[in-house]
Amino acid sequence: MKIAVAEIDLSALQHNLKIVKQHAPNSKVLAMLKANAYGHGTTQIAKSLSGADAFGVARLSEAVALRAAGITKPIVLLEGFFEVDELQIISNLGLDTVLHTEQQLQQFIEAKLPRSVTVWLKVDTGMHRLGLPPSLFKDALDKLDQHPNVLGEPILMSHFGCADDVEHSLNDYQFGVFNELKQQHSGECSFANSAAILSFPQSHHHWVRPGIMLYGVSPVLSTLAADFNLRPVMTLKSSVIAIREVKKGQSVGYGATWVATKDTTLAVIAIGYGDGYPRNARNGTPVLVNGQQYPLAGRVSMDMISININNTDSVSVGDEVILWGEKLPIESIADYAETVPYELLCGVTGRVEKRFALGSNEFINQS
């Protein structure tokens, strides 16, 4: 009986990388591995993405762990360094760093590094999260030009705020700002995230930065992964642990939020918010058992959920249950929980066993 297992299909991961390259055949690929590879397991994912050109992480600790695991590809610190002392580690491990503030830029220039570092210079083109103001871009380039800490020429990068919404006016505005910056720069550029890879080929440039699409989730609003020939990498599974008869008028679960409208049968499944299944998934959220969808009945508990199997005899204790993934799109579950697939994937907790497969259910590792 499988209890709270995340099956990670590495062949699906490799398929999705091929889709990235089909859309951006002339670009190098900076694959996003931050947040434990979106909940999928950083080391195994990195080892399975041999076709990527570099990896992106958010924290130095993530990069250190990858180097310790034997990953030798370039690794980019997407938020740069947080303390000046981190620059020595960055240099020693051969990591790339993003520079996105004047303070970071100055600290980087003043540092005495054992060897030079590839720099990604991030400019704010309209998202107003991280990045230098466009007016400071040329000055920053001049300061980094021929500096001994800089390996090669800095890479210009920015980030879309609304690429998931293809018609949003901010996209055109950011395109305009970025194109003006390109005129001041002879080096490589990077702008496209997953949504832009699929929707805005004019943004691909030298480097694309796929994240959620690598893991088989659509990055575009109101679409599913299958719309782009993407395959889900994670399938979250568990098992039925009890069958319960409920009389008309009886409630189920904490808060009595679901009440039977007739005599019916429920199945109890061993998964809950303690595993990362969203507590705010509402009544009716679909759950897949034996190829049939059944609706969530009652509030999600820490360790269990209940589904209404409506007096069927085709569900039994021990039956495998799919919460999202293959045959049950995570995009749909996120809609029912009023969140995004990113949060669901990243929220899978440590007590969920990860099982890695290369397809055909041939599992190669457990962690």
Catalytic annotation present for 254:
yes
Structure token digits, residue 299? 């509030």
Of 34, 122, 237, 354, catalytic: 34
Structure token digits, residue 26? 């002339």
Catalytic annotation present for 34:
yes
Query: Cα–Cα distances in Å, from 198 out to 157, 201, 210, 338?
Result: 18, 7, 10, 24
Of 138, 248, 254, 327, catalytic: 254
Secondary structure (3-state) at 146: coil
Cβ neighbours of 136 (radius 10 Å): 16
* Beta-ladder partners of 46: none
Query: Cα–Cα distances in Å, from 318 out to 66, 222, 289, 330?
Result: 37, 35, 11, 23
Q: What is the largest CA-CA distance in the chain?
A: 77
Alpha helix stretches (DSSP H) within the chain: 10-23, 34-39, 42-48, 60-68, 86-92, 102-110, 137-144, 169-182, 194-199, 330-336, 341-346
Active site (catalytic) residues: 34, 254
